[in-house]
Each structure stands twice: as C-alpha cells, then as structure tokens.
Amino acid sequence: MQPLLFFIDKVSTLVGQAASWLIVGLTLLISYEVFSRYVLSAPHAWVFDASNMLYGALFMLAGAYTLAKRGHVRGDILYGFFPPRVQAGIDLLLYLVFFFPGVIALAWAGVDFFEISLAQNEHSSIAADGPPIYPFKAVIPIAGAFLLLQGVAETIRCVLCLKYGKWPAREGDVEEVDVDKLKQMVAAEARENAEGHTAETTGAVR
C-alpha cells in the first residue's frame, strides 16, 4: 500500500512543480504588458484575460500538491495536539462528507464547462482579439481529477492510521506541517514557566 501512496504523492508533486512554471509565464506576460503600455504606448486588452487564466490554472493545478503537503488551512493549534487516531477520524469524516462530494461536483461540472466552451469556440469578449477560453476551462476537470486522486491517498492514510495508531510515511519531497516542533516549543515554555515559578517560591520560602 505504501508504494501506491508514494506514487500518488509523487504525481501530485510533479504536477504542482510543473504548474509552478506558470508563474514565470505570468511574470513575463505582465512585464511585457507594462513595457508595452508605458513605454510603447500600445496596451493589449487581451492580457487581462490571459493573466487571469494563467493564475487560475496555477491555482487549480497546485491544489493536489498543496493537499499532499498538508498545506491547506486547518486548525493546527488544536488538531495538532490530538492523538493520531482522533486526527485520522476527523480527517476521514471530513473527506467523506465534504471533500469527495465537492471535488467530484467540481470535476463533473468542469467537463460540461469545457465541452460547451469548445463547441462554441469560446473566446474572451473583453477584446476583439481575446484569447480562447476553452483551454482554461479544460484545466478544471483535470485539476479536479488530480485533487481527487490525492484525496484517495489521504483517505487511505486515514484508514491506515485508524488501524495502526500512527500516520503512514509520505513521499520524500512532500513535507508535513511540523506539529512536533510546536509541541516541543509549548512544552519548553511550560517547563520554563514552571521552573521560574518554583524558583520564586523557593526564594520566598527562604
């Protein structure tokens, strides 16, 4: 089972790393538009849509990678102090009740959006030479599929944690939120406070 989980983590990592290059394209596009607008006095209306689509594609394709890195927002201040089995039970419930219905709906609707856009040869209406929109809409079901795949891996991890009492290992490039350091910091601060209180009490007694 562990090789399968590592493989899914690796796929999500590679997709996220590949999508990160869209930042380079977005930076070059915006830089070109700024130069063209303010130096050459020749702005392009289509750049607005193109930049939005690049950023949107990056945002969607990074979803599975962020899930693999456990980078999505959660209440770690409380969650991190729960035993692994309690964490796994909470995660499993949330995956089944919210994650899978939401992501399946996203991917399913995304297929419809793409097919309609492709059939209409949809282009941006902001400018006469607006860029085509259907390639961007194709990203919706693709990103949804990768996110769904990573969700399956996370669900398997929850089941294994419930069974064995500890979280399975993750693929090397994928980092977990470092809750252990947070626990150590809190414990160290508690010890310092306790020692300080003891020293004050001892001094007062003397």
Same domain, 115 and 181: no
Same domain, 72 and 85: yes
34: pLDDT strictly greater than 80? yes
pLDDT tens readout for residues 44-99: 888 888 898 999 999 999 999 999 888 777 766 777 788 999 999 999 999 999 99
pLDDT of residue 174: 46
Report the number of distinct structural domains present in the chain. Answer: 2
Same domain, 7 and 21: yes
Q: How far is CA 161 from the centre of its chain?
A: 22
pLDDT tens readout for residues 126-158: 766 778 899 999 999 999 999 999 999 999 999
Write down the residue that tokens 């690796």 correspond to. 10
Same domain, 154 and 73: yes
173: pLDDT strictly greater than 60? no
Same domain, 167 and 191: no
Same domain, 195 and 161: no
Same domain, 34 and 77: yes
Same domain, 182 and 163: no
User: Hey, what amino acid is at 10?
Assistant: K
- For the record, the structure tokens of 106 come out as 């996203």
Question: Is the distance from CB of 92 to CB of 155 less than 8 angstroms?
Answer: yes
Same domain, 111 and 200: no
Same domain, 18 and 113: yes
pLDDT of residue 47: 86
Same domain, 166 and 199: no
Round to whole Å and give the CA distance between 52 and 38: 21
Same domain, 194 and 138: no
Range of the domain at 39: 1-174
Which residues, in sequence order, are CB contacts of 5 under 8 Å at separation 6+?
153, 156, 157, 168, 170, 171
